[in-house]
Amino acid sequence: MATRLLILEDGTIFEGEAFGADIDVTGEIVFNTGMTGYQESITDQSYNGQILTFTYPLVGNYGVNRDDYESITPTCKGVVVREWARRASNWRNQLTLDEFLKAKKIPGIAGIDTRALTKIIRQHGTMRATLADKGDSVEHLSDQLRATVLPTNNIAQVSTKTAYPAPGIGRNIVLVDFGLKHSILRELSKRDCNITVVPFDTTAEEILNLSPDGVMLSNGPGDPDDVPEALEMIRGIQGKIPIFGICMGHQLLAKANGASTYKMKFGHRGFNHAVREIATGRVDFTSQNHGFAVSREDLPDCLMITHEEINDKSVEGVRHRYQPAFSVQFHPDAAPGPHDASYLFDDFMELIDAFQAETGKK
């Protein structure tokens, strides 16, 4: 059994069992509290550049299958678990977790105290970390880790380079790819939408030339401050086309209207976050994966808060008071997680129809 080390920026070192790919990596270490859905999480591009810790003690027991990919090429840096299942048992199983990580060139470490690790992250916040073989010099690895500057072009790394269609027969939707999950495509396809996926740096003019009925701003990794071109695009289409933003799309819509964002201490990553809809008092359990949030303190008057997280009162949704645009911080597409909030895709369809009825556009 090969041994692998997990070295944290604060000097903490965990020793565990190596599985997955046999490579050394460095990234930001985060934790996910979901009890299932490891395949969807690992393939979620919002984890680009991050070492993903699962707090649930057994990961990999139902294997990996063809149906649960949120992207074909995952870009998380590494996987940390208490125990990985060597044998997978499920009728859909095609690969074990170990085989999957080897194929995708992602290293894993098992057999460490993930509870203790999570407590460190909660206390000190997300930090840089390295996964490396035990044979390497710990002192040298620690020096390298402290000198590492993490990339800021996360969205550019994961966004599609060229536009592509997902044909349908209904409303014409342009989906701006900041690191989209396939489940967003699935939800739009369920509603018969004709979808065109475009790169993150597509201009407002290029989007308008596609004559969309609505525009979706997808989820994605990193800091919204790193994609200022997206703010210009949003300002260029707002008021002309209904807009629905999810996660990164939510933060960008808010920033385009004058809001600010901040980095959370350890973020929201899991599938059991309770969110209250302020207008109705309705509480949904939601899937979330973000390290930044929209600031409540200096929210511009043109935006109203529609949803808030029950525990920390962070902003979970906004709606423009005068333009057909709204967004949520959580993932109404779930995958993994509860489908409580999938009705928001229907709300988007209704917003498009109401806008067209009001403006006479079709």
Q: What is the DSSP string of 329-348?
A: SSBTT-SSS--TTTHHHHHH
Are residues 214 and 288 both part of a single domain? yes
**pTM for the full predicted model:** 0.96
| DSSP reduced 3-state for 131 | strand
Summarize pLDDT for 11-66 with one digit per residue, the tens. 999 999 999 999 999 999 999 999 999 999 999 999 999 999 999 999 999 999 99
What does DSSP assign to residue 19?
E
With tokens 């041994």, the residue in question is 3
Q: Sign (positive/negative) of CA torsion 64, 102, 335, 82? A: positive
Are residues 253 and 291 both part of a single domain? yes
End residue of a domain, out of 99, 130, 150? 150
Are residues 187 and 45 both part of a single domain? no
What does DSSP assign to residue 239?
T
Could you give phi then psi for residue 351, rounded to 5 degrees? -65, -40
According to the model, what pLDDT value does residue 360 have? 80
| DSSP reduced 3-state for 97 | helix
Are residues 55 and 146 both part of a single domain? yes
Q: Is 331 a catalytic residue?
A: yes
According to the model, what pLDDT value does residue 135 have? 77
Maximum distance among all Cα pairs of the chain, rounded to whole angstroms: 69
Are residues 185 and 313 both part of a single domain? yes
Name the active-site residue from 76, 284, 331, 340. Answer: 331
Are residues 302 and 206 both part of a single domain? yes
Are residues 162 and 275 both part of a single domain? yes
Which structural domain, as residue segments, surrounds residue 323? 155-359
10-residue block means of pLDDT along the chain (362 residues)?
93 96 97 95 98 97 96 97 96 96 98 97 96 86 92 97 96 98 97 98 98 98 97 98 98 98 96 96 96 97 98 97 98 93 97 94 66
Are residues 234 and 127 both part of a single domain? no
| DSSP reduced 3-state for 32 | strand
According to the model, what pLDDT value does residue 362 have? 60
CATH for 57 = 3.50.30.20
Cα separation of 150 and 318, whole Å? 30
Are residues 175 and 124 both part of a single domain? no
Q: Any idea what the Cα angle at residue 136 is, between residues 135 and 142, rounded to 5°?
A: 140
Tell me how far CA of residue 178 lies from CA of 104, 150, 249, 351, in angstroms.
21, 18, 8, 23
Name the active-site residue from 68, 76, 193, 247. Answer: 247
Stated as kind and residue range, the H or E segment containing 23 is none
Cα separation of 66 and 211, whole Å? 34
Could you give phi then psi for residue 106, rounded to 5 degrees? -120, 120
Are residues 146 and 162 both part of a single domain? no
What does DSSP assign to residue 247?
T
Are residues 131 and 221 both part of a single domain? no
According to the model, what pLDDT value does residue 71 have? 97
**Contact yes or no for 9/147 (Cβ under 8 A):** no
Summarize pLDDT for 312-330 with one digit per residue, the tens. 999 999 999 999 999 999 9
Name the active-site residue from 68, 284, 333, 340. Answer: 333
Q: Which segments are annotated as binding site for L-glutamine?
A: 46, 220, 222, 248, 251, 289, 291-292
Stated as kind and residue range, the H or E segment containing 63 is none
Are residues 10 and 59 both part of a single domain? yes
Among residues 96, 81, 99, 75, the alpha carbon closest in space to that of 25 is found at: 75
For the chain, first and last CA: distance in Å?
Answer: 63
CATH for 177 = 3.40.50.880
End residue of a domain, out of 96, 117, 150? 150
What does DSSP assign to residue 356?
H
Total domains in the fold of the chain: 2
End residue of a domain, out of 133, 150, 167? 150
Question: What are 264's two structure tokens?
Answer: 């959370």
